[in-house]
Amino acid sequence: MIASVLFTVLLILLLISAPIGICLGLATLFVMLFVDGAPPIVLLARSVVTGADSFPLIAVPLFILAGDLMQQGGMSRGLVAFANSLIGHVRAGLAYVNVLACVFFAAISGSSPATVAAIGSNLIPEMEKVGYTRSFSSSLTASSGMIGVLIPPSIPFIIYGVTAEVSIGKLFLAGVVPGILFALMFMFISWLLLRKDPTSKESSHPFAWRRVRQTFRESIWALLVPGIILGGIYSGVFTPTEAGAVAVVYAAIVGLFVYKNIKLTDLPEILAESAKTSGTILILVIMATAFGRMITILQIPSTLATTITGLSDNPVIILLLMNLLLLVIGMFMETISSIIIMTPILLPVAIAIGVDPIAFGVMMTVNLAIGFCTPPLGVNLFVASGISGVSIERISRAILPYFAGMLILLLLITYVPSLSLTLPSLW
């Protein structure tokens, strides 16, 4: 009875387009106030306080601010130029440059939409100049942008680590191999699509070691970021949260004094935009903590676990059902919201069938990252459409080959957990 009321109120609030953080908080509050047998309202206050009192969670606004500073500071342009100097000279080279630049920027931003915005604004117009259609370049950029939440540092991994109470450092390592596999898959699909296309041309710049050295020097400050952040974490110099602070200071210094694309007068606007994004996420996390406590008290996770395992005792089938559920959720719900809501529900099921929590975190993040590229939510599609001027419908059709590749790799990551667990086991 209480669970039915809780999810009914949540669904009604979602249907009227209330912010998800507010939906979670109001649904929990409504049940506590008006339903007999519900936990006392003091639980909401306690959950909000404990949800906010999390040291690892501080990494989220820090990495968001660092990503905004890096994007405004011009690091993405340097990365694109360096990637272009390496492989832009081959046929269909700019398609490979697009993917490689997304990998580079993913390693300094931790955000999928930010990766699409930073790389797409530089490369989509450049690709059109040498013969690529805007539909192709937009769909490729939207697809490659999903790597932004797999290559560390990753904001969804931080949220999952806080929610599931697992090592964020190990999650970062677990995303490296899947991120590289997605990059290779997108390059391979691009080659298949372009191998007989007479309109795709090679870059206007022939390969030259002098140009490689020049662009490397210009982009070295951006290329150093992953080494500084990840090297500091895994050498024990600082925690993932402290790494976020280091990234902010580094990005500010480089943007202000090295590339000089940021002025002191730009900082208030950058800080304000980062604060808006961070505030939205943190309200969501805090309210979801209370919602999670409520569903735990109501024994919803254990009931769902019993129901799913009752459908089949075969782990292969159970994992397939969980993937299908997460894919559908990713199409309609924002990634961080989905992680916060679904982790306490599905993680006990995964553990019950012997899935490692780190591997499950990667599997969940990949599922929800695919949601960045699928309508109706499809944040990456909207960002790419805004940059290119191509309609969502055309990008959605053009992205289908990449979507097929995503599903293949999702199954591989799900059923071959060593792809995610090998690197964390070495740390």
Nearest-CA neighbor of 218 among 72, 73, 69?
Answer: 73
pLDDT at residue 359 above 90?
Answer: yes
pLDDT at 364: 96
Tell me: cis bond preceding 153? Omega within 30 of 0 counts. yes
Residue 45's pLDDT is 78
Q: Where is pLDDT greater, at 313 or 184?
A: 184
Is residue 345 pLDDT above 90, yes or no?
Answer: no
pLDDT of residue 404: 96
Which segment of 19-28, 85-94, 299-308, 363-372 scores lowest on mean pLDDT? 299-308
Which range has highest mean pLDDT (53-62, 83-92, 266-275, 414-423)?
414-423
325, with CB counted inside 10 A (0-12, 13-18, 19+), is: middle
Is it the case that residue 256 has pLDDT exceeding 70?
yes
* pLDDT recorded at residue 261: 87
The dihedral built from the CA positions of residue 31, 33, 34 and 40, taken in this order, carries a sign that is positive
User: According to the model, what pLDDT value does residue 203 have?
Assistant: 54
pLDDT for 200: 59
Higher pLDDT, 159 or 131: 159
Higher per-residue pLDDT: 326 or 113? 326
For 171, half-sphere exposure in the C-beta direction (CA atoms, 13 angstrom radius) is 29
- The count of other CB atoms within 10 Å of the CB of residue 384 is 32
Report helix, strand or coil for 248: helix
Mean pLDDT of 150-165: 89
pLDDT at 47 over 80: no
What's the pLDDT score for residue 313? 80
Quote the pLDDT of residue 323.
93
Residue-level pLDDT at 305? 67
- Write down the pLDDT at residue 400: 94
Domain extent for 303: 3-167+174-426
**Residue 421's pLDDT is what?**
95
Section 304-324 average pLDDT: 83
Looking at the predicted structure, is the pLDDT value of residue 390 above 80? yes
Where is pLDDT greater, at 367 or 22? 367
Position 182 scores a pLDDT of 96
Q: What pLDDT score was predicted for residue 409?
A: 97
Residue 333 near residue 377 (C-beta atoms within 8 A) = yes
Contact between 131 and 173 (Cβ < 8 Å) = no
Mean pLDDT of the chain: 85
- The residues, ordered by sequence, that sit 6+ positions from 147 with a Cβ below 8 Å of its Cβ are 99, 102, 103, 106, 112, 115, 179, 182, 183
Q: Any idea which of 53-62, 182-191, 222-231 has the lowest mean pLDDT?
A: 53-62
pLDDT digits (tens, 9 = 90+) for 197-254: 665 555 556 778 888 899 888 888 888 888 888 788 878 888 888 888 898 899 899 8
Mean pLDDT in residue range 282-293: 77
pLDDT of residue 138: 93
Residue 26 CA to residue 3 CA, distance in Å, equals 14
Task: Please write the tens of the pLDDT for every residue from 83-98.
Answer: 888 877 777 788 888 9
Between CA 327 and CA 409 the distance in angstroms is 13
- Counting the structural domains of the chain, the total is 1
3-state secondary structure of 92: coil
User: Half-sphere exposure of residue 242, counting CA atoms within 13 Å on the CB side?
Assistant: 9
What confidence score (pLDDT) does residue 279 get? 82
Contact 293, 47 (CB under 8 A): yes
Locus of tokens 């020097």: 217
